[in-house]
Amino acid sequence: MENKDRRDWSEKDLKKHIVDQRKYLWRESTIERIASWLNLSSGMTAVDVGCGLGYLGWTFWRHYGRGSTYIGVDCSIKLLREAQETSPDWSGGGSAFFANGSSYNLPLPDECADWVMCQTLLMHLEFPVDAMNEMIRITKPGGVIMCMEPDNISASLGTSYSSIPSFSIREKLLHLKVLLIWAEGRKKLGRGDWGIGKKVPKMMADLGLMNIDALYNDSSRFTHPPYETDVQKYDIEKMRESIMEKNEDTKKLLWKEYKECFLAGGGSLSSFYRYKRFAETRSDQLEPLILEQLENKTYYGGIGGSHFFCIRGFKPEK
């Protein structure tokens, strides 16, 4: 089965995404809550599918790591190499291994793991149910499967509260319409479901998992002067960086992908180009203003919902 998300997550700009976005992704208190909700303990075998740089491995390590084995599986050899190199920094007291492979054909035997997990993997897959089936296959009876996946479609419906001029209602509706068409096309092209988070509990139930439950990512981000907290300082810096260091090739590639999905979703070429002109003009107007506001410390942004879920289900005992 082919992975249609042909993106190489080891590529500079994409990798930045899985590094920067992870920095304050989950509150420590939520991770603690999830760890006890999953019954994590020492001496476990844990498998992380689509592990990237091993984020889930080290994030939960203090809750399960002693005497445990973590196995990260990913289709990117470059990411795995880096994950392997850095794993001695966090995997003390247990072992961390990495294996190259596909989520559709995990290179692991049946019923070998106590805990099988993924984060932002299903949302990129053409056949998320097949991947989930593989995750279940390698889980021991009584073991737990955990998926951290967002519903980015619902998250995009929110209105914003910010120091930069807001869009008109007509512009907001246009943006939303384009986004929904794009998301539909993305699915049709086999590049994944942008709203998958809300569907995972039913998917787990259909595949026979039990005691299914879901927690919300309660990390609410907002920014206002004088940018006191570490998270705010970090977000401000990343915002500045993303405007200053914009890579023209990446931008072109993103628009190309956007166009392919938009057309596959039923949008017309003329409406795509109309939207692209509108979005680029807005960016050209707003970005200097944002930089100026960041410089003179007047920029603010209100709380946004992440619609990011942690869903768990147990494999029935035999």
Report the residue number, 17 or 297, with the smaller CB distance to ligand SAM.
Answer: 17
Q: Cβ 56 to ligand SAM, closest distance in Å?
A: 6
Q: Are 235 and 219 in contact (CB under 8 A)?
A: no
Q: Cβ 162 to ligand SAM, closest distance in Å?
A: 26
Indicate whether 55 belongs to the interface with ligand SAM (CB under 6 A).
Answer: yes
DSSP letter for each residue of 107-125? SS-TT-EEEEEEES-GGG-
Stretch that binds ligand SAM, among 73-81, 150-158, 177-185, 309-317 (CB under 6 A): 73-81
Report the residue number, 78 or 274, with the smaller CB distance to ligand SAM.
Answer: 78
Q: Cβ 157 to ligand SAM, closest distance in Å?
A: 22
- Footprint on residues 105-134 left by ligand SAM (CB under 6 A): 119-121, 124-125
Distance, CA of 137 to CA of 108 (rounded, Å): 9
Which residues contact residue 189 at a Cβ distance below 8 angstroms, ignoring those fewer than 6 apart? 4, 260, 261, 264
Task: Label the pairing between strands 69-74 and 45-49.
Answer: parallel
Q: Quick one: which of 68, 91, 103, 306 contacts ligand SAM (CB under 6 A)?
A: 103
Q: Quick one: which of 69, 76, 87, 217 contacts ligand SAM (CB under 6 A)?
A: 76
Q: Cβ 272 to ligand SAM, closest distance in Å?
A: 25
Distance, CA of 130 to CA of 75 (rounded, Å): 16
Indicate whether 22 belongs to the interface with ligand SAM (CB under 6 A).
Answer: yes
Distance, CA of 235 to CA of 242 (rounded, Å): 10
122 phi-psi bin (left φ>0, alpha ψ -120 to 50, beta other): alpha
Residues that bind ligand SAM (CB under 6 A): 3, 5, 9, 18, 22, 50-52, 55, 74-76, 79, 102-103, 119-121, 124-125
